[in-house]
Structure 1
Amino acid sequence: MPHATAATPSSVHRPRWWTELPLIAVVYGLYSVGRLLVREDIPAAVEHGLAILRLEKALHLNAEHPLNRLLTDHPALGIPADFAYASLHYLVTPAVLVWMFRRRTAAYRAARTWLMTSTLLGLIGFTLMPTCPPRLLDAHHGFVDTMAQYSAYGWWGAGASAPRGLSGMTNQYAAMPSLHVGWALWCGVLLWRHGRHPLVRAAGVAYPLITVLVVMGTANHYFLDAVAGAAVIAAGALLTRPFMRIADGVKDRIRSVSARTPVAVTPVGSTIVGDGCKTSAGERIPGRRTSSADSSDAGTDTAAEVSDDAPAAAR
């Protein structure tokens, strides 16, 4: 997992928030737009979902069914789980990012790059493998959409965690990998590594585990989706340092080019009179102060003129 070293200058100085916010917004915007633009090939997505389900049953990893029945039969568990699925994803992750920015400056840049890299890798996964979540499979497969079952208690409708009427603004077949799990794991690692209070570190362990149970119990993800989300975070961690070196190289190149670019500085109040034109010998610019050299030159020229005229006067 990436960690900052005290030797690098970028880890000493805190990044400016007014440059960080647009950068994060651009990356998240690309992720959101790209997620929506991915073609929803529903037949292929359904087949991918069923293939995952068959593989899990063959490996005896099918924990989704019992968890889903637990939340379906017990609203006291199902409703909080739905709220957790619909909100924590968008609350805890930015909160940890801000905490790193304010309290762990030396490690912030690596943490931010890690999150962004992993998110873009997740988008590639959505593109290459659209996957139908368990809740959208045919009913005979035994899954119940708890978000729809308990929608009267929250702001969401039948379209996953999207607000009512806005389900068309989300790609419901972007289940593989689970970035709910991936982002939760990112939060957990940072809380465990950089938290000083035992409760903070305990939250770093509990949050990813609870997220895995929630995404499976609400029938939004398979267990292998969660595994893929963790794999994406691991891959993002491995790519963080190379990406930071590339970014530093680009910055250094831009700075060197800027430093080599000459900048003409004109003193305040100065005026370029000649503008590149030469004056003839002896010509004086009005208002110009005459130097001693000019005076001596002028005196020599005057004396020469007198000497030339003297013989003519004698004649």
Structure 2
Amino acid sequence: MGAQEAVTARDAVLTTDAHGPGLRVRRELLIGLLLFALYTVVAKLPMEGRTATARENGEALHNLQKTLRIDVELGLNGWLANQSLVRVLANYEYAITYIASALALLIYLFVRHPERYRIARNAFILLNLGGLTTFALYPVMPPRLMPDLGFVDTVLLGGTFGSWGSPLVEHADKYAAVPSLHMGWTLWVGVELARVHARRWVQVVNAVHVLVTLYVILATANHFVLDAVAAVPFVVVSVYVAERMARPAPARAEGPDAFFLAVETPAAPQHAGGVIMLDTSRRDVGPADLVRVIKERLGGLPRFRQRLVRRGRWRRPVWRAHDHVDWDWHVSERHVDGMDGLRAVVAELQSRPLPLDRPPWRMVVVKGAAPGRTAVVYLMHHVVADGVGIVAQAVHLMDPPPEPAGARPPRRPLRKALATVIGLGQLAVDTAPPDRLPAAGTSERRFGTMHLPLGTVRDVGRRHGARVTDVVLCAVAGALNRTVAARDGAPGTCRVAVPLMMRPPGSAMVGNHTTAVMVDLPLGTMPETERLALISRRSRVLRSGTRAQAAWTVMWQAGRLLPGPLHARFARMAYSGRFLQGTVSSLPGPDTTLRLAGAPLTAVYPIVPLAPGTPFALAGLGVARELCFGLSLDPGLVDDADAVMDACLDVIEELRDEPVLSDAAHRAE
């Protein structure tokens, strides 16, 4: 590599427009200067030691080529030395055309293909860096400097301006023969032209230029054949590395997401979602309608076209693009007879894990659940998002589009740290194992639904000095008392996990951003007003924020710091029947009427997976002033999920009708 190469490498890097998107002249200038400085360092290496080594390496290549019978340089050089006109043309071709073609390509890419420019520029820089490194470690004397072998320096003989015969490059590195960057640059130009599908005649011209350059570097005795051959892997590796650098890093399943992947077992599939009820009395909705809507909005649903790829026990799985979406599997249709048939379909879908060899989501259009109604069972693996995120992705498919949520100011670091320390202390004293509820421990499920006006639940809470979440917890506890606690040996309390949202302002719809705080529900026989008062007092832990912050910190940091196998063990230990017996969740939902594929939405019954070893999970979702409940049940606890839902409704009606107890209200405060 001569001084022209280094100078041109610097200039090529600087061939940018200050107005180009994302391009900064200062950075480009710095890269070019660093590359030129590196070449200068190599060129300034002591010649004494390098000359002998370069001579040995040059002779070794020459002898190897003679053995291989590819030593064509001497014949080509001898003929060219006696052709005055052709010799001058060859000398200038050697000095100019490879520089001109590289600069022309960079300008062309910058103007016409800016999306490829950065990759090409980076490959060009890597090619030159690879060459400079090789020059320093493996100096090779070119044939023209070994006249005793019969070679003639045609450039020196002709005194070609700007090349070896000119004072302009008298301090250039004389032993930069392997690889031939003349060949490297011209081959790199050919690769980049092919990458942008340049016109065929342009690629043909460049192919001719490659052949002419190969002839010139051999005939002028600047390179051996093996020097040119050595340029090929340099170009291939440089382009490959530059393209890999340009690819966005695959999204990794973060610790809280991998948490739900680790706890999944055949008996405890971890997919969540909902049963979306649509009014199709005027407009029918089928799988084709849903596929059309999904395709139109795929841009905002990255996980709908990605699959999870495991990379061994010690590395986190990553999300990779899944080119072929099997729409017939992802969006299918079933026919049932009434709501009982719909609930049976949901229970069946809950019992089967979602396969991870494809995007982990599914929609099943269910016809026949009720006159003028169509149900859409929407399922997504919990590794994708928490309940709020899954709701947000479902709403993304609906009309009208949701308004951006207002940003919440982040908690101050000092206050956050203090809350974490206090919460860790509180969690440390709450580790007593809970009473166990009966469970079959299989993947078989029962699914129940219920809905009632949200205003009714709020009125009950206001009358008894409680919150909506307290009323829901009381309904669950009372229902378990009426359906389970009457059995012999039934526990007196039930510890449930109440998920709390920790989603930062402006976060995407993907990713798990919730933690859970444990609340012990009293299952003994007592007036429901007393049960509600007791639960209201115990549920204050949900509002202090310290336990939630501590639990979230532990969950997040465990995912960051623990190796994969240890994190999986931690997840299976923390999220199991050892520490909880059920999940009770309250999810925010849209308060306006939405449409899916043109059909108005009337209700959404949440689907929440069971934690391993636990027998139930209940969630409520507010939809257009209605509170819709979905209950996922292990039949070992109660075989009839609707019976539990009816008992929950009875508890709420009892709380609504019974007079307020002053002492209960006082304790709730």
- Matched with 2:178 is 176
Distance change in 2, residues 1:150/1:68 (3 Å):
same
- TM superposition shift of 1:197: 2.9
What is the TM-score with the length of structure 1 in the denominator? Answer: 0.67
- Percent identity, please: 31
Distance change in 2, residues 1:165/1:248 (3 Å):
farther
- TM superposition shift of 1:176: 1.1
- Matched with 2:242 is 240
Residue 167 of structure 2 aligns to a residue in which SS? coil
Which amino acid in 2 is paired with 1:149? L
- Matched with 1:200 is 202
Residue 95 of structure 1 aligns to a residue in which SS? helix
- TM superposition shift of 1:132: 0.4
- TM superposition shift of 1:32: 2.7
Distance, in Å, in 1 between the alignment partners of 2:130 and 2:211 is 22
- Matched with 2:117 is 108
- Matched with 1:229 is 231
Structure 1: unaligned runs, 5 residues or longer: 1-12, 250-259, 263-315
- Matched with 1:189 is 191
- TM superposition shift of 1:36: 1.4
Distance, in Å, in 2 between the alignment partners of 1:175 and 1:33 is 16
User: What are the Cα deviations for residues 27-64 of structure 1, in whole angstroms up to 9, with x where unaligned?
Assistant: 54134323313343101101100000000010011111
Asked whether 1:35 is paired with 2:37, we answer: no
- TM superposition shift of 1:21: 4.1
Distance, in Å, in 2 between the alignment partners of 1:58 and 1:246 is 47
Which amino acid in 2 is paired with 1:90? I
Which amino acid in 2 is paired with 1:140? D
8 A Cα contact 2:145 2:153, kept in partner: yes
Match of 1:147 among 155, 159, 163: 155
Distance, in Å, in 2 between the alignment partners of 1:173 and 1:216 is 16
- Matched with 1:124 is 133
- Matched with 1:77 is 86
- Matched with 2:98 is 89
Distance change in 2, residues 1:180/1:27 (3 Å):
farther
Q: More deviation in 182-191 or 85-94?
A: 85-94
Which amino acid in 2 is paired with 1:212? L
Q: Whose strand fraction is larger, Structure 1's or Structure 2's? A: 2
- Matched with 2:76 is 67
Distance, in Å, in 1 between the alignment partners of 2:165 and 2:249 is 37
Match of 1:218 among 220, 229, 232: 220
User: What are the Cα deviations for residues 143-174 of structure 1, in whole angstroms up to 9, with x where unaligned?
Assistant: 100001111xx314xxxx24732444201111
What is the TM-score with the length of structure 2 in the denominator? Answer: 0.33
Which amino acid in 1 is paired with 2:40? V
Match of 1:16 among 19, 23, 40: 23
Distance change in 2, residues 1:22/1:145 (3 Å):
same
- TM superposition shift of 1:23: 4.8
- Matched with 2:404 is none
Distance, in Å, in 2 between the alignment partners of 1:155 and 1:46 is 26
8 A Cα contact 1:192 1:205, kept in partner: no
Question: RCO higher in 1 or 2 (8 Å CA, sep ≥ 6)?
Answer: 1
Distance, in Å, in 1 between the alignment partners of 2:225 and 2:248 is 35
User: What are the Cα deviations for residues 206-243 of structure 1, in whole angstroms up to 9, with x where unaligned?
Assistant: 12221111111100011111111122111212222344
Distance, in Å, in 2 between the alignment partners of 1:170 and 1:149 is 18
Distance, in Å, in 1 between the alignment partners of 2:112 and 2:27 is 15
8 A Cα contact 1:67 1:217, kept in partner: yes
Q: More deviation in 139-148 or 234-243?
A: 234-243
User: What are the Cα deviations for residues 242-299 of structure 1, in whole angstroms up to 9, with x where unaligned?
Assistant: 44469999xxxxxxxxxx9x9xxxxxxxxxxxxxxxxxxxxxxxxxxxxxxxxxxxxx
Structure 2: unaligned runs, 5 residues or longer: 1-19, 252-409, 413-669
Which amino acid in 2 is paired with 1:142? G
Which amino acid in 2 is paired with 1:148? L
Which amino acid in 2 is paired with 1:182? G
8 A Cα contact 2:183 2:228, kept in partner: yes
CA RMSD of aligned residues (A): 2.7
Distance, in Å, in 2 between the alignment partners of 1:247 and 1:226 is 34
- Matched with 1:57 is 66
8 A Cα contact 1:135 1:144, kept in partner: yes
User: What are the Cα deviations for residues 81-101 of structure 1, in whole angstroms up to 9, with x where unaligned?
Assistant: 100111223222112111111
Residue 241 of structure 1 aligns to a residue in which SS? helix
Distance change in 2, residues 1:133/1:94 (3 Å):
same
Distance, in Å, in 2 between the alignment partners of 1:43 and 1:231 is 27
Q: How many residue pairs align between the two structures?
A: 232
- TM superposition shift of 1:109: 1.2
Residue 169 of structure 1 aligns to a residue in which SS? coil
Distance change in 2, residues 1:218/1:65 (3 Å):
same
